[in-house]
């Protein structure tokens, strides 16, 4: 076998390896009807709760059978006007505090240069959270639970201070009710892969 055939064989093996790695990375999309995100906090009168709907989230992960080996990328978006409450006044105040007219979306993006490793179905996730025109790096832990092939759930809690994003905690009734600075975000997400969508390392 001459060196040209050897070179061709070597290049073919490398190309096959790269193709196999690319195919191992799948795109998982959030299933909105099976996912929830709740925001809770305190006030000078009573605790409060809001829920975010119409969420979108894309996850690029390397999956092997029913297991997720690592997460490559996370892109999350929450429309501010879809953060809802059963109290309309509270809802309007929250939208104003989040500067909805200028910054209509809350986003989170993980670092693309790093792989988020998973150990015992737990992932320590870090990335950039953008709220009301301010971007901060945050970290949190998420529990991941494979369901069936191409489907998994993710859950966790994130605690934030509004003032860290230059947000003034909302007040109502001429300041007699003032919300606390700290809020807690609880999420329970379900993700489903599209077997026709295959990505490579970007």
pLDDT digits (tens, 9 = 90+) for 110-132: 976 567 888 888 999 999 999 99
Would you state the pLDDT for residue 200? 43
Would you state the pLDDT for residue 190? 96
Angle (CA) 156-56-185 rounded to 5° is 30
Would you state the pLDDT for residue 90? 87
Could you tell me the CA-to-CA distances from 90 to 31, 40, 63, 132 in Å, in that order?
28, 12, 42, 17
The number of residues in the chain equals: 202
Q: Considering the entire predicted model, what is its pTM?
A: 0.80
Backbone angles phi, psi at 186, to 5 degrees: -115, 125
* pLDDT band of 35, cuts 50, 70, 90: very high
Would you state the pLDDT for residue 25? 73
* pLDDT band of 69, cuts 50, 70, 90: confident
Mention the CATH class of domain 25-195. mainly beta
For 134-189, the pLDDT digits (tens) are 999 999 999 998 887 788 999 999 999 999 999 999 887 656 678 999 999 999 99
Would you state the pLDDT for residue 198? 40
* pLDDT band of 70, cuts 50, 70, 90: confident
């Amino acid at each position: 076998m001459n060196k040209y055939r050897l070179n061709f064989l070597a290049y073919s093996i490398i190309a096959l390896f790269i193709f196999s790695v690319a195919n191992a990375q799948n795109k998982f999309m959030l299933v909105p009807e099976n996912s929830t995100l709740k925001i809770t906090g305190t006030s000078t009168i009573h605790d409060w709760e809001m829920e975010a709907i119409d969420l979108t989230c894309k996850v690029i992960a390397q999956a092997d059978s029913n297991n997720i080996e690592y997460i490559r990328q996370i892109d999350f978006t929450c429309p501010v006007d879809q953060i809802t409450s059963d109290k309309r006044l509270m809802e309007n105040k929250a939208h104003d505090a989040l500067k909805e007219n200028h910054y209509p979306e809350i986003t989170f993006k993980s670092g693309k240069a790093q792989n988020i490793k998973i150990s015992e179905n737990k992932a320590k996730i870090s990335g950039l959270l953008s709220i009301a025109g301010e971007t901060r790096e945050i970290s949190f832990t998420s529990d991941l639970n494979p369901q069936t092939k191409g489907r998994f759930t993710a859950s966790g809690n994130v605690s934030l201070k509004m003032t860290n994003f230059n947000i003034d905690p909302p007040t109502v009734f001429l300041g007699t009710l003032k919300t606390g600075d700290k809020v807690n975000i609880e999420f329970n997400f379900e993700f489903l892969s599209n077997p026709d969508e295959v990505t490579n390392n970007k």
